[in-house]
């Protein structure tokens, strides 16, 4: 019988799947991507039940160069 994955393993798998899901949008204009925030919603037992992703890009308003 295989052991249940640890909480860390479940979080890593969920984060990997989340980044893969939004990957194509992250790859667009990579030079402006500054931050990526992944919020994982957990059930009482540590099961990942949902994920929310925010990306922040530099707009360059008013910058010269």
Q: Domain limits of the chain?
A: 7-57
b/e string for 6-31 if b means 16 or more Cβ within 10 A?
Answer: eeeebbeebeeebeeeeeeeeeeeee
Which pLDDT score, from 0 to 100, does residue 65 have? 57
Residue in the block written with tokens 């308003």:
61
pLDDT tens-place string over residues 5-63: 999 999 999 999 999 999 888 888 888 889 999 999 999 988 999 999 998 988 777 76
Which pLDDT score, from 0 to 100, does residue 63 have? 63
2/40: higher pLDDT: 40
pTM: 0.75
């Amino acid at each position: 019988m295989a052991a249940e994955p640890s909480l860390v393993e479940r979080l890593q798998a969920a984060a990997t799947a989340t980044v893969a899901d939004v990957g194509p949008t992250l790859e667009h204009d990579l030079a402006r991507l500054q931050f990526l925030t992944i919020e994982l919603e957990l059930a009482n037992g540590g099961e990942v039940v949902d994920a929310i992703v925010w990306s922040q890009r530099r707009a360059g308003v008013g910058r010269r160069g």
